[in-house]
Structure 1
């Protein structure tokens, strides 16, 4: 029985669709013979052989050390090679009340094969770019860079960022200039919410992430049908600029009623986006589960006519942030492959 019907397309796209589909089957089933690939795809053995030749040549597929035994005969097995291309992730974040940097190299299945914590004195552009070059030279299969920042690029410059050394820096332009690789730059909260949402097979139509770090103003992210809402200038989610009582420009020197601010921000979000789920990234020192229950009770008084969105506290911001960068980075590699494939036709 065929796995699924091959999607119809224009003649010039058929070969590319077939290549992608055989890769998909090998990712799903781990190891398959030519005969099994033909049965699952509905393609002829001759076509399968030609496709495998191409995939073996570009390194995305490899022969397995194991062989299939059927009817006394052994058949070659083929498997997806997740390390034929690698992703370099650079993650800048606040951890334990300090700004930190993390490097991770992942295969095409999102599995980390190398991780490193950057020292504080290596978080300037010179330090970061030097380390990126060293890692690219060591891992020649790196095919893209995903760069996460606690800020926003506006008109090509980092205008809103918690790393003073990178303020007003043209990050994307310099990354492309120095490394000549596909680049994706993502805001930390956007990436975290995308990473969280990727864990759900049935993604909620609208999910919102709120991030309240210890010593910096909060941020928010909105994901609609699996897509990040950035806005015209990338400022969607800059909740610190809402016309509320909190004056974040003086924080933490002047204390802020965090519980009140969270309730006001959530109220604003519900009125504007009516989300299915809100993830509140913080820690028990900022807001407790009991305080969240109180916030929900107050919101039920304000919105007695609706079911409130699911509101959950999460302490896994850094983990979701990294996961989201990996998702964006792998998408960037796949998009680049499609662009090259279409350009060659």
Structure 2
């Protein structure tokens, strides 16, 4: 087993303190920090001083009593680093980009909605440059797309204006920040799991009126993407070969949902399935029939817990922000 180099060990310890503050989101004393990170008091004192000098931690004026003595308290500077997220999605049949700048506590600093023309997304680049100029502490860019990036290009993409675009290369022309690109349903399912603070197996399915559904799988706090990022592309199932979109007929909607849930339950046996139905295709009546059929197909006395949401945006944003936070937690600032 290789021993860690001094600088590597130091960064590891800083990451532990950083993670503790982001998870706790409230003030802590030096003693609490040392105890919860398993660091020595001497190491904790030194690292806290360095993080205060860097502006990452704040030493608060007020103090707390601990066993009859006053102790200084410390808090993460939630404005120390910002995350820029870009959510591409369809809204009222319009291709839309929603840009959000968030702090380390997921609090929104600013947001901008852009409606994209069919063959032009230049407005997105202009807005990115504006935000980077306005907020110099943006440290990572996280992008959610309705498709899959393969070898740097969007090979599978619901937006024709973005198909085969190498977004990373274009972003490198305007910034040297870390860039993460994630599928929309992967991000939303991950956000749902993080919001619930669950380490269980969570599957997600995203239904849209005009496109085949996509699915995602989060296993013990990790997104499962497959070898090439193609995991969850339900449109490759034989059921969809002759299916025409949009699907609005009740019987077609019921069959569509059932045929997408069956393989997910069969292959992954998730604890929970979150269904994002932003076009509200699944009525209470339709879901009743689907649920009955699913229980007939899987008559084992146990079944995943199903949740239906008509809004994707909250979980989508949480998922992208969490992916950005991972980069910030691991990066040696």
TM-score exceeds 0.5: yes
Once the two structures are superposed, residues 262-298 of structure 1 have per-residue CA deviations (whole angstroms, 9 ceiling, x without a partner) of 1111112222222222222115741112211211211
Q: How far has the Cα of 1:323 moved from its partner?
A: 1.2
Q: Distance in 1 between matches of 2:221 and 2:33?
A: 31
Match for residue 98 of structure 2?
102
Q: CA deviation at 1:24?
A: 4.7
Aligned equivalent of 1:56: 52
Structure 2 residue aligned with 1:190: 186
Shift in alpha-carbon separation, 1:89–1:122, aligned structure 2, 3 A: farther
Matched ranges for 1:275-294 at <5 A: 275-283=270-278, 285-294=280-289
CA contact (8 A) 2:247 2:253 kept: no
Contact (CA 8 Å) 1:66, 1:77: kept in 2 or not? Answer: yes
Rounded Cα–Cα distance in structure 2 between residues aligned with 1:240 and 1:266: 13
89-98 or 127-136, which moves further after superposition? 89-98
Matched residue SS, 2:195: coil
Write the distance in 2 (CA, Å) between the matches of 1:140 and 1:262.
45
**Is the contact between residue 278 and residue 312 of structure 2 (CA under 8 Å) also seen in structure 1?**
no
CA contact (8 A) 1:60 1:80 kept: yes
- 1:295-310 aligned at under 5 Å gives the runs 295-310=290-305
Q: How far apart are the structure 2 equivalents of 1:276 and 1:38?
A: 35
Distance in 1 separating the partners of 2:196 and 2:61: 34
Partners of 1:246 and 1:261 within 8 A in 2: no
Secondary structure of 2:139's aligned partner: strand
Conserved 8 A contact 1:102-1:118:
yes
Report the CA distance between 1:40 and its aligned residue. 6.5
1:80 to 2:76 alignment: yes
- Structure 2 unmatched ranges of 5 or more: none
Number of positions where the alignment pairs a residue of Structure 1 with one of Structure 2: 328
Contact in 2 for aligned 1:176/1:182 (Cα 8 Å): no
The offset of 1:68, in angstroms, is 4.9
Look up the SS of the partner of 1:244 in the other structure.
helix
In terms of mean alpha carbon deviation, does 303-312 or 61-70 score higher?
61-70
| Deviation readout 1:312-333 (Å, 9 max, x if unpaired) | 2111212211111111111122
- Root mean square deviation of aligned Cα: 2.9
TM-score (norm 1): 0.84
For 1:321, the equivalent position in structure 2 comes to 316
> 1:198 aligns to what SS in structure 2?
helix
**Per-residue displacement from partner, 1:47-76 (whole Å, max 9, x unpaired)?**
444222210222211232434578999765
